[in-house]
Structure formats: structure tokens, C-alpha cells
Amino acid sequence: MKNPMKNPMKNPMQPPSFLLLASLLALTACSAEVDVSTEPIDQNVPLTSILEPVYMEIALDLPEESQGDVIVQTVAADLTVVNPTRALTLELGIRLSLEGRATPGAAVPYTDRNLPPYFSRASVVLPTQSFAPGQRVPVHTENPVLKEALGKPRIWIIVNNTVRRVGLGGADDLPVNIRLEDIVFSATVTKPFPGVGGALEVGGL
């Protein structure tokens, strides 16, 4: 006669090696979407010539959350271009570079006569366009080249600018500044667990 109290089921416990493998697979499969952005910065770009382009190289440090092993879901750049003059139509364009000499807060100017070698490798994110006297223009771009910037600790934007037309609205003495206000790079990235410690080491914005 069989013992009615004996459990007929097999031992549900799996070998330790199986449990370890399952735990590692679960951890490595985990990730989280993180929204990251740079702190807004303003930049004055001096215009010292008419018709001949002047370039200003500006450095931007990216948040730690966007660096390292990340998968970029979306990325965008936002800023407001301000032409503060009374009579000058200004032209401006923006390139993105993964190389540069500028540091945050210390921009580097140059002209067509002394362009750095990496200038030709920079990608256009805002084609050159005109900005009328007194105009404020919000600019938003989701150019795919922005994805190249994510994962890097620092990037550079190169602003080309010149005076294209002089109107009759009043006198403006050179040099004048075109203003770039609230420059922000923002992105949504997927970031995996950094290890098997069970905690996702990412911070807020």
C-alpha cells in the first residue's frame, strides 16, 4: 500500500547551474528608457565681416546618462536664433562635429582662411538661412546625424554666419552679435543594466 502522505510530484528545485543561468539572462535582458538632455546654454556669435563667412566653434558636454552603452531611440536639437540688429539681414548655418578645439564657455572662431582639418568632416544639421532684423526664430531638428553624438562625452557645433544684406531700418555698427538662445540637445536612449547588482545606475535630468 502506497503512503498517502507522500508527495508524488518530482522535486521542483532545479540544479543551481540552471538558476544561475536564468538569473544572468534575466539581468542582461533588462534595460530602461532614459530621457536625457544638456543644460540650456546661450551663445553670442560675433559678426565682424560682410559677405565673408565667419565660423564659431562651440563645445557642449553631454550628460553621463547618454554616454557608454546606449541605444538611441530619438534625438533632437532645439535653439532660438535671435537677430538683434535693426537693419542687418544675417545668414547662419550649423554643423555638428565630433572633433574640436573649443571648450565649454570658450568658443573658437575661424574663417575660410584657417579652417581646421576636421571642418570638412562636420555634418550639416541646419542649412544656412537668412534671419531678418529683429527676428526670433525657434529651430528644431531631428537630423539623423545627431545620433552620432550620443555616447560621446563632448560634441562641438560649428556656426557659420555673415551679414548678407544691409537695410534702411537704422545704423548698426560692426561687430554685432547674433544670439543662439537655449541650445539644448535631448534624446531618449535605452540603457541596459550596468551589471548584475540589480540596480539601474542612471540618474534624473
pLDDT tier for residue 168 given thresholds of 50, 70 and 90: low
Task: Express each pLDDT in 7-29 by its tens digit.
Answer: 444 444 444 444 433 333 343 44
CATH classification (class only), 32-192: mainly beta
Those residues whose C-beta lies under 8 Å from the C-beta of residue 56, and which sit 6 or more positions away, are 43, 45, 46, 107, 108, 109, 158, 159, 161
Q: Note the pTM of the prediction, 2 decimals.
A: 0.68
